[in-house]
Structure 1
Amino acid sequence: MPSLPDATHYLSLSELAARIQTRDISPVAVTRSQLERIERLDTELHSFAGVMADTALAEAEAAEAEITAGRYRGPLHGVPIAVKDLFWTRGFPTAGGMRIHKQHRPREDATVVRRLREAGAVVLGKLQMTEGAYSDHHPMVTPPRNPWNAAYWTGISSSGSAAATAAGLCYGSLGSDTGGSIRWPCAATGLTGLKPSWGRVSRHGAFELAATLDHVGPMARDARDVAAILHVIAGADPADPTALGAPVPDYRAATRQGVGGVRIGIDPAWNSEGVDATTQMALNEAIATYRALGAEIVEVRFPDVKQIVADWAPNCAVEAAIAHEATYPACKDEYGPVLASVIETGRALSGLDYQRLLLRRMAFRGRIAALFGTIDLLLTPVQPFAPLTLATISTLGEQPGLIADLQRYTCPFNMTGNPTLTLPGGFCEGMPIGLQLVAAQLGEAMLIRAGTAFQAETTWHRQHPTL
């Protein structure tokens, strides 16, 4: 195969895949180039928890040999990607952002990692994350830096996944989302991210934060890319009884279907209350784009989210306490203060209070299901304000109202399990702004249709940081 041409690190995954398939680009050459770029840039970005150079090169060599022999497996074959350090990798450390697990070497791959490898993907390494996938990095971990501007937030908890993918250190990545952890990082770094329906993707071999809130999904440069990754990782899994058995549609076919006649709901009040002017402008431009593409814009009234947002934290806390009961409080001293605090909250919550919370969650889920009987998609911000600086984020613990605002458009859809797609929709002072589409349960194909159509008409997703 020919050697690697110049300036390929910002190709989309799908563009790279097409050139690998035609043997215009060598998997070995592109993998070497990515490893060299990681070595050169990641001392400042801190996006990788560990680089798997030897196995990555071996996987690239195997992919190149197969493709040369005419045994092409599909659009991930020979493509370098990376995975959040939440997911087990056989024989290679998987810490979940926690010091307590820094020597943990799993005996098997997580289901999603195994499926990526079976599709021929080249796994470059493990991406840094917040401790236990909650809201803060362990005090002994250097947080990943936003490649657009180091003074700005990278998002949580899939911080390394966002930084590496946005910086051109991989062509896509896996993240997880319990309250916004795919959506905030994608919005902060100009990426496209898909939080699937709860259970659409197996969680076997993924460190748990909150079992009924955790979603596993792809983060990449555009909707075609997330479709290619989701197509590989979705589906039933005998090792995870909560993984849904519904057939996996051809998500790649959805990229060619357009949005003519698709009903996109907006709640003008919810989308504007406390939302800054720049974010509202991005929403309005997106609405105009979809209308021009033939979608039907439908005004709706979204249920009040104040209670469900307030309920997310204790719900997550109880489930986190269960997830960590083998090591907490027995190894309490090895935990950072933020994760320890949430576990303590969960251990203290009464059974009666938890049951009341579950009943409210069930009722809210029913109201959202009814709403999606009248629309196909819902369009919202990811967050109601401009990109956040690290200085602002450092004050979150002192501003409960700011935390609630940050979660307003994200955690309700972890409480319901609905799938969401985050799209770049503009810029503010040189930093990306993200928009969110939400679909009915198992509506990932509809999200991909709408995301691809939007990105065929806009160029926000083609903007990259200068490094």
Structure 2
Amino acid sequence: MADDTLWSAEFTALADGIRGGAVSPVALTELMLERIARHDGRLHAYAAVAPDQARAMAAAAEAEIRAGRWRGPLHGIPIAVKDVFYTTDIKTGLGSSIYADWQAPHESTATRRLREAGAVMLGKLTATEGVYADHHPTIAAPINPFGAGHWTGTSSSGSGVATTAGLCYGTLGSDTGGSIRLPSSCCGLTGIKPTWGRVSRHGVFPLAESLDHVGPMARSARDAAALLQAIAGSDPADPTAAPVAVPDYLAEIEGGVAGLIIGIDRPLLEAKASAEVLASIEEVVATLTRLGARFVDVRFPPVEPILRGWAVQCAVEAAMAHRDTYPARKGEYGQRLAALIERGRAFSGLELGEALKERRDFTGAVGLMFEAIDLFLVPGLPVAGPSLDYMASLGEDPAAILAIGPFTAPFDVCGYPTITVPCGASPLGIPVAFQLAGKPFAEALLCRAAHAYQGVTDWHRRRPAL
């Protein structure tokens, strides 16, 4: 397989070649390092690259595979992770000047499990400051390779850019209001925000712990399923990681969508999404219907109250996460994160209590809706390929996040899993995506449905011209 094909491949498509010796982990790693050196000076996807460690891991993986000890589809695959996952051999900057020279005291559970699966760690990917909305003023923001004037999503922006541009084969992100799904939407990736508790958050710097989720971002549902397989499961180091058995996602992925009942709330979509996005969603409905799914009209609980409550909880929990450095080092914070923390410190107990009540009621209402359906369809973003000018027009107010995340933040609040899938492009060529949401711990079904869609479409195979 030529280099121009290798860099853009789905890694699960390379696994048999690696196992049989036709594809070399060492060669794949050198290819990724060469592409990082060639392109990342413009794209700014990486916060740190570790070429020596990556080469050593690739050589060890190749020797192990040649000796007949193949560990699975991630063995020998060069990946990278968002720079909020603790790693003891690569610096962890957390998107902040405060942590520029900080050494993580231990490895995150998720990255340890990736290493145990045989993955090759290339480095750490640029994240927004404090995993919130903006990059720190000292850090260059990643560039969307599909269009430099367009948003990359937050806060896993580097993860989205690196994976779509062929600077790694897959990645992990974190998601509090949409930060796996928004960059996946903008960069043409398949991203899974798992059920809250499906993946350990041990060793992952928080934005708001009760809203934070850890999950994969990849080039296909099959790749995302393989990454989730490696990192999912209970963890003694994280008491919130659910002790629920992890199914074999790849073994179930060919099941198709025939007979599934998928809910859609068209009044919600018409109120929140642009005409371009609505047209792409109707194409998805038509495709999944041809594959045997049945769509029914449902009503999603009102999102405005829960979005307002999300803003309160996120601010309060962010203030908790930064209490060791804020306000003690207030001057080193960027404007937007500092404003979030100040709001969190100012909210009253009554305001937080009201947000928590709304959250409980909303979660119950979502559960009632799912009694009649298997999956629920919404867009990834309310607008197609938002420009940087559009994002700037939303201003600094918390309403900016609520305006861009009506289809993402609610699922962080209730903790239900979703998968983001490319389904089109804006007139300027920026990817457009849809989401399927499922019941708690229904990630296997989500992967199955996304894979069925990707079996008859090729939007997930579009790569940017660098």
Shared fold (TM-score, shorter chain, > 0.5):
yes
Offset at residue 108 of structure 1 (A): 2.2
Counterpart-to-counterpart distance in 2, 1:6 and 1:424: 22
Offset at residue 399 of structure 1 (A): 7.0
Q: Which residue of 1 aligns with 2:409?
A: 411
5 Å matches for 1:101-250? 101-250=99-248
Q: Which residue of 2 aligns with 1:331?
A: 329
Counterpart-to-counterpart distance in 1, 2:406 and 2:17: 41
The answer to whether the aligner puts 1:442 opposite 2:441 as a matched pair is yes
Offset at residue 312 of structure 1 (A): 0.9
Q: Which residue of 1 aligns with 2:294?
A: 296
Which residue, 275, 280, 303 being the options, matches 1:282? 280
Render the CA deviation track for 1:393-443: whole Å, top value 9, x for unaligned.
122216766543312111011100011100001011211101111011111
Offset at residue 17 of structure 1 (A): 1.8
Q: Is the 8 A contact 1:131 1:137 kept in 2?
A: yes
Q: Which residue of 2 aligns with 1:349?
A: 347
Counterpart-to-counterpart distance in 2, 1:255 and 1:428: 29
Offset at residue 215 of structure 1 (A): 0.3
Q: Secondary structure at the match of 1:397?
A: coil
Offset at residue 254 of structure 1 (A): 2.2
Counterpart-to-counterpart distance in 1, 2:425 and 2:159: 21
Which piece of structure 1 moves more, 120-129 or 84-93? 84-93
Counterpart-to-counterpart distance in 2, 1:400 and 1:243: 29
Q: Which residue of 2 aligns with 1:322?
A: 320
Offset at residue 274 of structure 1 (A): 4.0
Q: Which residue of 2 aligns with 1:41?
A: 39
Offset at residue 104 of structure 1 (A): 1.1
Q: Secondary structure at the match of 1:435?
A: strand
Offset at residue 5 of structure 1 (A): 4.8
One-letter amino acid of the counterpart of residue 437, structure 1: L
Counterpart-to-counterpart distance in 2, 1:233 and 1:412: 24
Counterpart-to-counterpart distance in 1, 2:375 and 2:269: 14
RMSD between aligned residues: 1.2
Between the two proteins, the alignment pairs up a number of residues equal to 465
One-letter amino acid of the counterpart of residue 188, structure 1: C
Render the CA deviation track for 1:364-420: whole Å, top value 9, x for unaligned.
000001111111100001122121111121222167665433121110111000111
Q: Which residue of 1 aligns with 2:459?
A: 460
Q: Secondary structure at the match of 2:169?
A: coil
Q: Describe the shift of the 1:226–1:400 C-alpha distance in structure 2 as closer, same or farther (beyond 3 A).
A: same
One-letter amino acid of the counterpart of residue 447, structure 2: I
Counterpart-to-counterpart distance in 2, 1:53 and 1:95: 18
One-letter amino acid of the counterpart of residue 178, structure 1: T
Q: Is the 8 A contact 2:312 2:351 kept in 1?
A: no
Q: Describe the shift of the 1:363–1:318 C-alpha distance in structure 2 as closer, same or farther (beyond 3 A).
A: same
Q: Is the 8 A contact 1:88 1:94 kept in 2?
A: yes
The answer to whether the aligner puts 1:19 opposite 2:17 as a matched pair is yes
Q: Secondary structure at the match of 2:306?
A: helix
Counterpart-to-counterpart distance in 2, 1:104 and 1:401: 33
Percent identical among aligned pairs is 52
Q: Is the 8 A contact 2:318 2:344 kept in 1?
A: yes
Which piece of structure 1 moves more, 41-50 or 270-279? 270-279
Q: Which residue of 2 aligns with 1:383?
A: 381
Counterpart-to-counterpart distance in 2, 1:350 and 1:405: 24
Counterpart-to-counterpart distance in 1, 2:169 and 2:160: 11
Counterpart-to-counterpart distance in 1, 2:441 and 2:42: 39
Q: Is the 8 A contact 1:91 1:108 kept in 2?
A: no
Counterpart-to-counterpart distance in 1, 2:160 and 2:46: 11
Which residue, 73, 78, 81 being the options, matches 1:80? 78
The answer to whether the aligner puts 1:58 opposite 2:72 as a matched pair is no
Counterpart-to-counterpart distance in 2, 1:238 and 1:410: 29
Render the CA deviation track for 1:217-274: whole Å, top value 9, x for unaligned.
0000000000000000000001111100100011111211111111110011112224
One-letter amino acid of the counterpart of residue 341, structure 1: A
Offset at residue 296 of structure 1 (A): 1.4
Q: Is the 8 A contact 2:359 2:413 kept in 1?
A: yes
Render the CA deviation track for 1:305-350: whole Å, top value 9, x for unaligned.
1110111111100001111111111111111111111011111111
Q: Describe the shift of the 1:85–1:401 C-alpha distance in structure 2 as closer, same or farther (beyond 3 A).
A: closer
Q: Secondary structure at the match of 1:43?
A: helix
Could you tell me the TM-score, scaled by structure 2's length?
A: 0.98
Counterpart-to-counterpart distance in 1, 2:133 and 2:396: 14
Q: Is the 8 A contact 2:90 2:124 kept in 1?
A: no
One-letter amino acid of the counterpart of residue 230, structure 1: L
Q: Is the 8 A contact 1:204 1:239 kept in 2?
A: yes
Could you tell me the TM-score, scaled by structure 1's length?
A: 0.98
Counterpart-to-counterpart distance in 2, 1:274 and 1:115: 39
Counterpart-to-counterpart distance in 1, 2:305 and 2:2: 53
Counterpart-to-counterpart distance in 2, 1:75 and 1:274: 39
Counterpart-to-counterpart distance in 1, 2:248 and 2:272: 39
Counterpart-to-counterpart distance in 2, 1:288 and 1:6: 33
Q: Is the 8 A contact 2:311 2:398 kept in 1?
A: no
Counterpart-to-counterpart distance in 2, 1:5 and 1:42: 18
Counterpart-to-counterpart distance in 1, 2:402 and 2:62: 49
Q: Is the 8 A contact 1:4 1:26 kept in 2?
A: no
Which piece of structure 1 moves more, 38-47 or 21-30? 21-30
One-letter amino acid of the counterpart of residue 432, structure 2: I
Counterpart-to-counterpart distance in 2, 1:16 and 1:149: 28
Q: Is the 8 A contact 2:87 2:108 kept in 1?
A: yes
Offset at residue 77 of structure 1 (A): 0.1
Offset at residue 48 of structure 1 (A): 0.1
One-letter amino acid of the counterpart of residue 198, structure 2: R
Q: Is the 8 A contact 1:224 1:448 kept in 2?
A: yes
One-letter amino acid of the counterpart of residue 178, structure 2: G
Q: Secondary structure at the match of 1:252?
A: helix
Identify unmatched segments of 5+ residues in structure 1.
Answer: none
Identify unmatched segments of 5+ residues in structure 2.
Answer: none
Offset at residue 6 of structure 1 (A): 4.5
Counterpart-to-counterpart distance in 1, 2:382 and 2:397: 15
Q: Is the 8 A contact 1:5 1:25 kept in 2?
A: no
